[in-house]
């Protein structure tokens, strides 16, 4: 059984499970379990802390993992990043007490910065020629300035509400992160085949995201203009109806363009327009 390591709890756990389910990998109920096999795919999930996942994959205990790119960069583990998954977006930023007179990155020279990501922070400081002391904290980094442990923090920011509630303001965005699928470098033939299948399914899922399927009836005189309006993946599907001079036209459009396209199509005589969600697109 091939293993994929995923976060044991939190938002990234939930979104990872949803992704796997959407590509046909259903995991057994895993409350208080370390391992959870899939009922319909030759894989089992290994639940871990996010900061343990890169090393576990690099060491071969799990062939694959889903983790934030920030953890991959911080740990420096020997893994291959094979896909960015489109969720779990966040950033690592420097933040200082609200009201401090900030005049650019040089402000941090001689300061003490609390963080759980010392390696990413050290690279930023070195790249910018800043001599600052790094105080490594594994818990609630955002409280460090208030209790006198540090002058500033370097931490994950999503909405920014945690910073505000602790009297901090974000001043430098250093590292942008999202969830990634990682793999150990020396995959076996079986593991490579499973990875290829996972990537194939993820691509299908990504192609269908924010797409709508349109069906409509059109007079023959409007067909040429309708084909111009609708992009389709190759060209729209056109089917003659039993009524002479009328056709059924099918196409896929971006959800963001839906109402603009519908208005244009109605203007040229489209009738009975149906809009449906797209579950998967396989090229």
For residue range 209-266, list pLDDT tens digits in order: 889 999 999 999 999 999 889 876 667 889 999 999 999 999 999 899 999 999 999 9
Residue 42 predicted with pLDDT over 90: yes
Q: Do domains 2-88+178-207 and 90-177 have the same CATH topology?
A: yes
Under CATH, which number does the domain 211-277 receive?
A: 3.30.70.120
The CATH number of 90-177, from 3.20.20.70, 3.40.50.620, 3.40.190.10, 1.10.10.10, is 3.40.190.10
Q: Which of 248, 255, 273 is CA-nearest to residue 263?
A: 273
Domain boundaries along the sequence of the chain: 2-88+178-207, 90-177, 211-277
Fold of the domain spanning 2-88+178-207 = D-Maltodextrin-Binding Protein; domain 2 (3.40.190)
Tens digit of each residue's pLDDT (9 = 90 or more) over 170-216: 999 999 999 999 999 999 999 999 999 999 999 998 888 889 999 99
Q: Contact at 8 Å (CB) between 7 and 46?
A: no
Q: Contact at 8 Å (CB) between 273 and 265?
A: yes
Q: Which token pair is 24?
A: 């046909």
- What proportion of the chain, given as a percentage, has pLDDT over 90? 81
């Amino acid at each position: 059984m091939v293993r994929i390591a995923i976060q044991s709890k939190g938002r990234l756990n939930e979104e990872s499970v949803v992704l796997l389910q959407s590509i046909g990998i259903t995991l057994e109920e895993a409350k208080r379990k370390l391992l959870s096999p899939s009922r319909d795919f030759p894989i089992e999930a290994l639940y871990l802390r996010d900061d343990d996942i890169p090393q576990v994959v690099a060491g071969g205990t799990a062939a694959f993992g889903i983790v934030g790119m920030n953890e991959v960069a911080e740990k420096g583990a020997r893994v291959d990043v094979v896909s960015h998954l489109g969720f779990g977006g966040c950033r690592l930023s420097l933040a200082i007490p609200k009201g401090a007179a900030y005049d650019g990155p040089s402000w941090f020279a001689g300061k003490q910065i609390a963080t759980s990501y010392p390696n990413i922070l050290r690279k930023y400081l070195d790249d910018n020629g800043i001599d600052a002391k790094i105080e490594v904290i594994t818990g609630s980094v955002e409280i460090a300035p208030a209790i006198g442990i540090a002058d500033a923090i370097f931490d994950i920011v999503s909405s920014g509400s945690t910073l505000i509630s602790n009297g901090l303001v974000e001043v430098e965005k250093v590292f942008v992160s999202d969830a990634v699928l990682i793999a150990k470098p020396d995959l076996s033939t079986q593991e490579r085949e499973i990875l290829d299948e996972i990537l194939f399914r993820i691509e299908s899922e990504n192609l269908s995201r924010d797409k709508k399927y349109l069906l409509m009836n059109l007079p023959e005189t409007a067909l040429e203009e309708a084909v111009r309006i609708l992009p389709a993946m190759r060209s729209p599907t056109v089917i003659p109806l039993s009524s002479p001079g009328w056709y059924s036209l099918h196409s896929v459009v971006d959800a963001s363009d839906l109402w603009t396209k519908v208005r244009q199509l109605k203007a040229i005589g489209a009738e009975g327009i149906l809009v449906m969600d797209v579950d998967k697109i396989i090229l």
